[in-house]
Amino acid sequence: MGKSKEDIYIDPEITWEDVENLSLATCNGAKVLLDVMAGEGVKVIFGYPGGSLLTLYDALLDSPIKHILPRHEQTAVHAADAYARVSGKVGVCMATSGPGAANMVTGIANAYMDSVPLVIITGQVPTNLLGSDSFQEVDITGMTLPITKHSYLVKDAQEIPRIVKEAFHIAGTGRPGPVLIDLPKNVMAAEVIDPHPPKLSLKSYKFFSKGNSGQIEEAAKALAQSKKPVVYTGGGVITSGAGLILRKLIEKVNIPVVTTLMGIGSVPTKHPNLLGMVGMHGTITANLAVNDCDLLIAVGVRFDDRVTSGLKHKFATQAKVIHIDIDPAEIGKVVRTHIPIVGDAKLVLEELFQKVVPPKINEWWEQLREWKKQYPLCYEQDGHLNPQTILEAMGKIGGKSAIVATDVGQHQMWAAQFYPVNNGRQFITSAGLGTMGFGFPAAIGAQIAKRDSLVFLVTGDGSFQMSIQELATTVQYQLPIKIVLMNNGVLGMVRQLQKMFYNERFCEIQLHANPDFIKVAEAYGVKGIRVENPEQVDAALKEAIDYPGPVLIDCKISPDEIVLPMLPPGKAITEILGGRE
């Protein structure tokens, strides 16, 4: 820790000349915070100002870091979340104390559930007022304890360089996640004697990147001996950048792959070895394959209940399970693991690639091809505007490099099923928490991360109205996001569940007072296009893509549209509904 001013004045070994020279090198905690973040590679912060953060915002005027002002603190976190997912860097967001910090909680929980690296800065009341229930005081570190990877309440400005350095390291390494730094107002205003961060030293923080070679050798042997293997991939594959080596592996040994919702993009949608998404709204072929396989190689997944239905004793019961994950806490937590491999997915797969030999699985492929033929993803093309038609057109017209952010609901599942994704970091969605309102700010974060990329938002009229104010953000920062609104006048997924499992006793799902979304968009300065039949889809998408600014495409779809296939809650994956019928 550096010396305080008082220490300097009474230290007989320091002259007044030393004090004068030293004072030229001092700066307040807010400036040091920004300087250290800039040193960590931070280019942009998503934030919302307030009283306790004014010192930081004052310092921001002289910082090379750019600032994006969303219209709500929760959307600031979602935007930083998507920025991290698309860029592969640690996202940064900030808000003031009290209600500002409290508004961030949902966004922090969302990032925690999906293992997204964030550093969250919150303002706090001065240290002498902590615990006194002062104006705009909340215990944000206590509130977020279960949904952060780590958190700091900074009480000494001299600690800022070290804490910021540690926060970025913790957020972005091992299993990524959000780290919160709570900064009292007086700490940000205090002078820091030595603004340079010390050498990083976190003896208690450890993670394993390289997998155990003996266990990898055992996994290779199990694969060679298997008759019906399946690779099951999740978000960890994308986070680690393991997509390319995964593709090389599955092509070398010619084995089938299924993905989670978070794993979409780990293998291109059109890859011949991909059976589709597994789980509640996955393909029937993917679910049957997991149920019948004799070897399940799980990479970067946590066996979420949307895949297993929470029935660990009825999931892949015939399979030997190989689980590769950087977080040892996930291995064996839900499903019994026969060969555990703790390590970074990319490094483990690279070593596994060198050791594997192709198994003899011709009969298994014959069965899989038969299932794919018997149970394709399909929908009724009856002349009405179908959401699947829109998504397929988006895939054709948008090209291979477009980024798609989704909100949560039926449109999310249709996008997962029918939008072609070619690479990781192109499909951005709230998977673990399922946060309505995530999609629009996520599209903003994605567009900031990739300014020259085409970014689509796929949303519904329920989700869109939870963050509709972000239309202003797209205009202010000239973000050419193309908003595809699946407008059915209801809370579609809730209605589907009530229709299928509650005897069509519909309750509180009608959105009767929806506005004219085209007029709302135009009021913000956003171009609006209305689509009411399938013949209008291609022209509307081309017009939107050609337009240099943000566009809202209001697509009128039927409230009777449902997502199939669907696994009823609590049922085994073999009981999935919605085949060719």
Is the CB of residue 122 less than 8 Å from the CB of residue 152?
no
pLDDT in tens, 462-520: 999 999 999 999 999 999 999 999 999 999 999 999 999 999 999 999 999 999 999 99
For residue 112, count other CB atoms closer than 10 A to its CB. Answer: 20
Domain annotation covers residue 345:
yes
Is the CB of residue 233 less than 8 Å from the CB of residue 258?
yes
- To the nearest whole number, what is the mean pLDDT of the chain? 93
Strands (E), 286-442: 295-299, 320-325, 339-342, 403-406, 427-428
Does residue 508 sit in the same domain as residue 429?
Answer: yes
d(CA 424, CA 259): 12
Q: What is residue 302's predicted lDDT score, i.e. its pLDDT?
A: 95
d(CA 364, CA 224): 14
Report which of residues 486 and 579 the model is more confident about. 486
User: Of 343, 374, 405, which residue sits at a domain end?
Assistant: 374
Instruction: Enter the tokens of residue 131.
Output: 């615990």
Does residue 217 sit in the same domain as residue 348?
Answer: yes
| Residue corresponding to tokens 């491999």 | 341
| Residue corresponding to tokens 């990781």 | 424
Q: What is residue 311's predicted lDDT score, i.e. its pLDDT?
A: 76
Q: Over 90: is that where the pLDDT of 14 sits?
A: no
Domain annotation covers residue 198:
no
d(CA 309, CA 525): 44
Q: What is residue 20's predicted lDDT score, i.e. its pLDDT?
A: 41
Q: What is residue 309's predicted lDDT score, i.e. its pLDDT?
A: 85
Domain annotation covers residue 204:
no
Q: Over 90: is that where the pLDDT of 190 sits?
A: yes
d(CA 488, CA 409): 12
Domain annotation covers residue 578:
no
Does residue 221 sit in the same domain as residue 182?
Answer: no
Mean pLDDT of 329-353: 96
In which band, very low, low, confident or very high, does the pLDDT at 310 lie, cut at 50, 70 and 90? confident
Does residue 302 sit in the same domain as residue 393?
Answer: no
Alpha carbons within 13 angstroms on the beta-carbon side of residue 22 total 17
Q: What is residue 10's predicted lDDT score, i.e. its pLDDT?
A: 36
| Residue corresponding to tokens 């190989």 | 322
Reference 81, options 346, 438, 421, 515; nearest CA is: 438
pLDDT in tens, 389-418: 999 999 999 989 999 999 999 999 999 999
534: cis peptide before it, omega within 30°?
Answer: no
CATH number, domain containing residue 323: 3.40.50.1220
In which band, very low, low, confident or very high, does the pLDDT at 574 lie, cut at 50, 70 and 90? confident
Does residue 156 sit in the same domain as residue 13?
Answer: yes
Across 561-570, b (16+ Cβ under 10 Å) vs e yields bbbbbbbeee
Domain annotation covers residue 566:
no
Is the CB of residue 78 less than 8 Å from the CB of residue 106?
no
Does residue 98 sit in the same domain as residue 185?
Answer: yes
Beta bridge partners of 192: 27
d(CA 141, CA 305): 29
Q: Over 70: is that where the pLDDT of 48 sits?
A: yes
Does residue 164 sit in the same domain as residue 271?
Answer: no
The three-class DSSP label of residue 67 is strand
d(CA 284, CA 412): 18
| Angle between helix 105-113 and 73-87 (nearest 10) | 20
In which band, very low, low, confident or very high, does the pLDDT at 2 lie, cut at 50, 70 and 90? very low
d(CA 399, CA 549): 18
In which band, very low, low, confident or very high, does the pLDDT at 181 lie, cut at 50, 70 and 90? very high
Say how far residue 400 (Cα) sits from the centre of its chain.
Answer: 20
Q: Over 90: is that where the pLDDT of 24 sits?
A: no
Beta bridge partners of 92: 119
User: Of 348, 374, 400, which residue sits at a domain end?
Assistant: 374
d(CA 516, CA 142): 42
Does residue 54 sit in the same domain as residue 187?
Answer: yes
Q: Over 50: is that where the pLDDT of 18 sits?
A: no
Mean pLDDT of 238-250: 98
Q: Under 8 Å CB-to-CB from 201, ≥6 apart: which residues? A: none
Q: Quick one: residue 128, left, alpha or beta (phi over 0 = left, psi -120 to 50 = alpha)? A: alpha
Is the CB of residue 211 less than 8 Å from the CB of residue 353?
no
Instruction: Enter the tokens of residue 504.
Output: 């069509």
Report which of residues 83 and 196 the model is more confident about. 83
Report which of residues 555 and 399 the model is more confident about. 555
Instruction: List the domain range (segments joined by +) for residue 227.
Output: 213-374
User: Of 129, 157, 192, which residue sits at a domain end?
Assistant: 192
What are the residue numbers of the active site?
73, 135-136, 185, 493
Sign, Cα dihedral of 313, 319, 322, 323: negative
Does residue 408 sit in the same domain as residue 533?
Answer: yes
Reference 363, options 293, 268, 438; nearest CA is: 293
Say how far residue 411 (Cα) sits from the centre of its chain.
Answer: 17
Is the CB of residue 461 less than 8 Å from the CB of residue 511?
yes
d(CA 279, CA 290): 10
d(CA 289, CA 286): 5
Is the CB of residue 243 less than 8 Å from the CB of residue 272?
no
pLDDT in tens, 370-385: 999 999 998 888 889 9
Q: Over 50: is that where the pLDDT of 6 sits?
A: no
Domain annotation covers residue 320:
yes
Percent of the chain with pLDDT over 90: 86
Mean pLDDT of 153-161: 96
What are the phi and psi torsion angles at 184 (to 5°)?
-60, 150
Q: Over 90: is that where the pLDDT of 175 sits?
A: yes
In which band, very low, low, confident or very high, does the pLDDT at 141 lie, cut at 50, 70 and 90? very high
Q: What is residue 570's predicted lDDT score, i.e. its pLDDT?
A: 81
Mean pLDDT of 24-30: 75
Domain annotation covers residue 70:
yes
CATH number, domain containing residue 422: 3.40.50.970
Does residue 370 sit in the same domain as residue 463?
Answer: no
Domain annotation covers residue 565:
no
Q: What is this structure's pTM?
A: 0.93
Q: What is residue 578's predicted lDDT score, i.e. its pLDDT?
A: 84
In which band, very low, low, confident or very high, does the pLDDT at 579 lie, cut at 50, 70 and 90? low
Q: What is residue 26's predicted lDDT score, i.e. its pLDDT?
A: 62
Is the CB of residue 38 less than 8 Å from the CB of residue 63?
yes
In which band, very low, low, confident or very high, does the pLDDT at 564 lie, cut at 50, 70 and 90? very high
Q: What is residue 19's predicted lDDT score, i.e. its pLDDT?
A: 37
Beta bridge partners of 340: 323
Does residue 354 sit in the same domain as residue 406?
Answer: no
Does residue 488 sit in the same domain as residue 440?
Answer: yes
d(CA 193, CA 195): 6
d(CA 278, CA 81): 25
Beta bridge partners of 93: 46, 120
Report which of residues 137 and 4 the model is more confident about. 137
| Residue corresponding to tokens 């393909």 | 283
Cα 121–Cα 126–Cα 132 angle in degrees, nearest 5 = 110
Number of domains forming the structure of the chain: 3
d(CA 230, CA 236): 17
In which band, very low, low, confident or very high, does the pLDDT at 568 lie, cut at 50, 70 and 90? confident
